[in-house]
């Protein structure tokens, strides 16, 4: 999704990593880790996609070309670090299971990598406005990442952080759930946008573009000015323009 819909998020993630001392490689042959198919129950298909992921990334790790795999989203990381093991648990997949196990400890979400591995404490970003933070489910509950993005956001200059009530409640996206159970997904999302509106924030920051698409889809349809923005763009100092532009584009 970052690749097709949000290239600026990908770019912001790369910029951030480079700013904080990492050298970034973007393997051209990478596509999708298979999370959407796995989530919908399509294990054979998900295995094929996971294998493609392993074919692209495992050699880079084995050759010592890279020390870590970083993604700007919790769902994709949870897929690699948790659910690849489920996919390859059955007999006959020992090879892929071993390859996945080697990637497991070095695959990180962006802010997790910045704080836990690079030790970033200060960032040179400013956001003149009110921000609130929504904790995406896979990031929070599968990866246990919450302090890292909050700490980095708190370091943004001029940003006034406001609390989002029910910040850890699901926005209702849920992959295929968003269309298979569109009404329920929408009802959950409206609960979320109501809390966002009540928080008085100019932008709600999050780490996954899928939840961001869902929340923005609702906020725009409701005619509200607040926007969901990706944390990479906020931390990179590129979100303010993006946010304003997005608003004026729709008017």
Partner 1 sequence: MIVDVGAPYRQRLEQALGDEAQRTALDRATSRLSGQRRLALEAVDNPRLRDEARAIRQSAIENLPATLEQLEANLTANGCVVHWARDAAEAMQIVREIAQSSGAQRVVKSKSMVTEEIGLNDALERIGVDVVETDLGEYIVQLANEPPSHIIAPVIHKRVEDISELFQRELGMPPTDDPTVMCAAARHRLRKEFLDADMGISGCNFAIAETGTVCIITNEGNGRMVTSMPRVYVAVAGIEKVVQTVEDAALLWQAASRNATGQSVSVYFSMSSGPRRPGHADGPEEMHVVLLDNGRARMLERGYGDAALLLADDPTLYKELPYASSLCGVCRDVCPVKIDLPRLLLDLRSDMVENGSTPKFERAAIRAYTRSVESPARFQRLQNLARMARRLPVLPPPLNKWARTRELPRVPDKSFQQLWRDRRQAHRGGSDE
Residues that bind partner 1 (CB under 8 A): 2-11, 26, 28-32, 34, 36-43, 45, 48-49, 52, 86, 137-138, 141-142, 169-170, 172-189, 213-214, 216-218, 220-221, 246, 249-250
Q: Which is nearer to partner 1, 10 or 129 (CB)?
A: 10
| Dist CA 142 CA 82 (whole Å) | 8
Tokens at 72, concatenated: 């700007």
Who's near 69: CB < 8 A, 6+ residues apart? 57, 61, 80, 103, 106, 107, 108
| Dist CA 64 CA 87 (whole Å) | 26
Kindly state the DSSP code that residue 119 receives in the 8-state scheme. -
Q: Which is nearer to partner 1, 21 or 223 (CB)?
A: 223
Q: Which is nearer to partner 1, 76 or 156 (CB)?
A: 76
Query: Quick check: helix, strand or coil at residue 128?
Result: strand
Q: Which is nearer to partner 1, 3 or 65 (CB)?
A: 3
| Dist CA 14 CA 229 (whole Å) | 17
CA torsion through residues 233, 237, 242, 243, sign:
positive
Strand partners, 129: 159
What is the nearest approach in angstroms of partner 1 to the Cβ of residue 244?
A: 14
Choose among 107, 104, 73: nearest CA to 86: 104
Q: Which is nearer to partner 1, 55 or 121 (CB)?
A: 55
φ, ψ for residue 62, nearest 5 deg: -65, -35
Q: Which is nearer to partner 1, 40 or 161 (CB)?
A: 40
C-alpha distance across the termini of the chain, in Å: 25
């Amino acid at each position: 999704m970052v690749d097709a819909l949000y290239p600026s998020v990908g770019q912001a993630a790369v910029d951030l990593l480079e700013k904080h001392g990492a050298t970034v490689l973007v393997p051209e042959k990478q596509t999708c880790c298979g999370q959407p198919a796995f989530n919908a129950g399509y294990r054979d298909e998900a295995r094929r996609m996971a294998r493609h992921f392993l074919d692209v990334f495992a050699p880079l790790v084995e050759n010592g070309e890279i020390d870590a795999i970083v993604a700007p989203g919790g769902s994709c990381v949870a897929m690699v670090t948790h659910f690849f093991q489920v996919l390859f648990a059955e007999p006959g997949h020992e090879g892929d299971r071993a390859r996945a196990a080697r990637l497991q400890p070095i695959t990180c979400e962006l802010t997790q990598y910045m704080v836990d591995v690079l030790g970033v404490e200060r960032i040179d970003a400013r956001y003149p406005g009110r921000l609130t933070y929504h904790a995406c489910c896979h990031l929070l509950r599968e990866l246990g990442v919450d302090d890292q993005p909050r700490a980095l956001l708190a370091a943004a200059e001029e940003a006034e952080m406001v609390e989002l009530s029910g910040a850890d409640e699901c926005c209702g996206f849920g992959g295929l759930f968003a269309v298979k159970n569109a009404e329920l997904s929408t009802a959950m999302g409206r609960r979320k946008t109501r809390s966002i509106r009540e928080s008085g924030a100019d932008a709600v920051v999050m780490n996954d573009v899928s939840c961001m698409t869902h929340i923005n889809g609702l906020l725009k349809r409701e005619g509200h000015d607040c926007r969901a923005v990706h944390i990479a763009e906020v931390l990179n100092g590129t979100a303010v323009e993006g946010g304003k532009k997005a608003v004026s584009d729709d008017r």
